[in-house]
């Protein structure tokens, strides 16, 4: 198999060896997928499974694009019985082998949803949950897949690479398949950005995109550089970024990370190389990709971290001025204050409380940590520790996050603030905070008072370490 990082085009297909009922290493589902990349845009899937009860299914919206599901019987094949969006496949103690086709092009054009399938010209984005048929009750173990794409088509996936396997073979726990990260098929432009121990693979679909491959690389590279500086080294071993055209309007992004981090950026049609420097979406989504996710109740903390850290990371590499950063915070933060009936950040999931309420929490934590420790500790330390420790788990409980914050800073600042703001509305005097930081906004003009009590804290927040 030919591969550059996770962006793989297959050479001539090799014979598929017979699989044991339960392959070594805990792999209980093993998929071999062929993608011709021709006008049909079809996947041909040959899969082997350890003993597993049914029924078998995949993403409900994608079920109507599955064709010809069969299972091996002796030296022949038998058609699997279909019941709505699921199939009955006998899979006994010896395991079973299943084959089918998936109409990827049809699904991508008909569904047009990045969490299931979407087309951008003749490039198709679809997570593995869309096209990998699997038992609805996953056993403990891991699933593995490889996709053989006929040139000029390529394939890339955010799913983690299989340990010890050839490039282009991916593997993750079975219980992550239904929410596995993004994947992309077709003749996309591919580049890899290496920073420290990390690699960001970029796959961009040229159709309708007002950016050249070099423009895309510069755009994503700038976001990677900002986080490389903020974290003291890019913290993730691998991230996949898929760039598709997004039509009119601003750039939008989404991150999935259950089986390995991947991002889809839908670039606005007016985005040009000259304006990518002002784009914040790529940096925002990369922050999600390099940090562990949190439970639904703490989605405000995930989004708040990305909202707060993005301009700081960009300011430290000169992409945002301190005046712009503080002016935007003074304008935006009030949208995160509690209103009548608020029950705390964990229980009030409005847009304002989720994004700006989370950012307010991060600002207060950062300021209080710096004030208590004379700028020796900050939110930087908490997030660097989380990014480093997050390699062993992509999803954390809030308790683990709070424990990590205590270890990283030697204080209970983050926990105490969580108790005040997440479990109750809390109260914040923003006017006093801006005065203490020495931030003054008059219309569109931002000025600083370097004699303010927390002026050193304000300057430290945007200073590159």
Report whether 287 contacts 227 (CB < 8 A).
yes
The answer to whether the pTM exceeds 0.75 is yes
Residue 246 DSSP one-character state: -
Sign of CA dihedral 395, 397, 401, 406: negative
Q: Are the C-beta atoms of 183 and 127 separated by less than 8 Å? A: yes
Distance CA 355, CA 402 (A): 19
**For residues 123 and 232, what is the distance between their CA atoms, to the nearest angstrom?**
35
What strands lie across the sheet with 7-9, from one edge to the other? 2-4, 7-9, 154-157, 183-186, 123-125, 118-120
Residue 88, preceding bond cis, omega within 30 degrees? no
Each residue's pLDDT, cut to its tens digit, for the chain (465 residues) gives 333 344 443 333 333 333 334 444 488 999 999 998 888 899 999 999 998 877 999 999 999 999 999 999 999 999 999 999 999 999 888 899 999 999 999 999 999 999 999 999 999 999 999 999 999 888 889 999 999 999 999 999 999 999 888 889 999 999 999 989 999 999 999 999 999 889 999 999 998 888 999 999 999 999 999 999 999 999 999 999 999 998 777 889 999 888 899 999 999 877 888 889 889 999 999 999 999 999 999 999 999 999 999 999 999 999 999 999 999 999 999 999 999 999 999 999 999 999 999 999 999 999 999 999 999 999 999 999 999 875 545 789 999 999 999 999 999 999 999 999 999 999 899 999 999 999 999 988 999 999 999 999 999 999 987
Q: Which helix (H) or strand (E) holds 405?
A: helix 398-409
pLDDT of residue 17: 36
Instruction: Return phi, psi of residue 83, to 5°.
Output: -130, 95
Question: What's the CA gap between 314 and 310, in Å, rounded?
Answer: 6
Q: In what order do the strands lie in the sheet with 66-73?
A: 76-79, 66-73, 96-103, 42-49, 27-35, 142-149, 169-173
Length of the chain: 465
Q: How far apart are CA 455 and CA 431, in angstroms?
A: 15
Tokens of 355: 């994004």
Residue (of 195, 448, 225) closest to 318 by Cα position: 225
Separation CA 294–CA 296 (nearest Å): 7
């Amino acid at each position: 198999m030919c591969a550059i990082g996770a962006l793989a085009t297959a050479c001539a297909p090799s014979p598929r060896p017979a699989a044991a009922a339960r392959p070594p290493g805990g792999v209980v589902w093993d998929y071999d997928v062929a993608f011709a990349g021709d006008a049909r845009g079809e996947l041909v899937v040959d899969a082997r499974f350890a003993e597993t009860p049914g029924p078998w299914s995949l993403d409900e919206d994608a079920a109507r694009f599955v064709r010809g599901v069969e299972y091996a019987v002796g030296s022949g094949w038998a058609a699997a019985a279909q019941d709505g969006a699921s199939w009955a496949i006998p899979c006994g103690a010896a395991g079973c082998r299943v084959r089918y086709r998936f109409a990827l092009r049809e699904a991508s054009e008909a569904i047009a949803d990045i969490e299931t399938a979407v087309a951008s010209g003749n490039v198709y984005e679809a997570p593995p949950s869309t096209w990998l048929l699997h038992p609805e009750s996953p056993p403990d173990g891991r699933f593995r897949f490889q996709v053989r794409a006929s040139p000029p088509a390529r394939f890339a996936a955010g799913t983690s690479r299989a340990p010890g396997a050839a490039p282009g073979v991916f593997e993750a726990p079975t219980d992550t398949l239904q929410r596995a990260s993004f994947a992309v098929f077709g003749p996309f432009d591919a580049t890899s950005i290496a920073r420290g121990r990390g690699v960001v693979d970029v796959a961009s679909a040229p159709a309708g995109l007002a950016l050249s491959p070099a423009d895309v690389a510069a755009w994503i590279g700038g976001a990677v550089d900002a986080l490389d500086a903020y974290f003291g080294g890019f913290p993730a071993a691998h991230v996949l970024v898929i760039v598709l055209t997004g039509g009119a309007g601003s750039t939008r992004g989404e991150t999935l990370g259950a089986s390995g981090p991947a991002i889809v950026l839908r670039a606005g049609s007016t985005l040009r190389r000259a304006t990518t420097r002002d784009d914040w979406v790529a940096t925002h989504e990369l922050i999600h990709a390099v940090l562990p996710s949190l439970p639904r109740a703490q989605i405000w903390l995930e989004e708040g971290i990305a909202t707060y850290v993005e301009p700081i990371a960009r300011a430290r590499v000169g992409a945002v001025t301190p005046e712009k950063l503080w002016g935007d915070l003074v304008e935006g933060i009030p949208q995160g204050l509690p209103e009548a009936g608020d029950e705390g950040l964990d229980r009030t999931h409005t847009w304002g409380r989720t994004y700006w309420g989370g950012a307010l929490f991060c600002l207060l934590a950062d300021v209080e940590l710096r004030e208590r420790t004379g700028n020796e500790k900050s939110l930087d330390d908490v997030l660097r520790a989380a990014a480093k420790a997050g390699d062993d788990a992509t999803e954390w409980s809030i308790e683990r996050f709070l424990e990590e914050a205590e270890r990283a800073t030697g204080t209970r600042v983050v926990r105490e603030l969580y108790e005040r703001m997440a479990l109750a509305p809390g109260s914040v005097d923003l006017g006093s905070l801006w005065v203490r930081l020495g931030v003054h906004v008059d219309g569109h003009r931002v000025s600083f008072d370097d004699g303010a009590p927390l002026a050193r804290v304000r300057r430290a927040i945007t200073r590159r370490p």
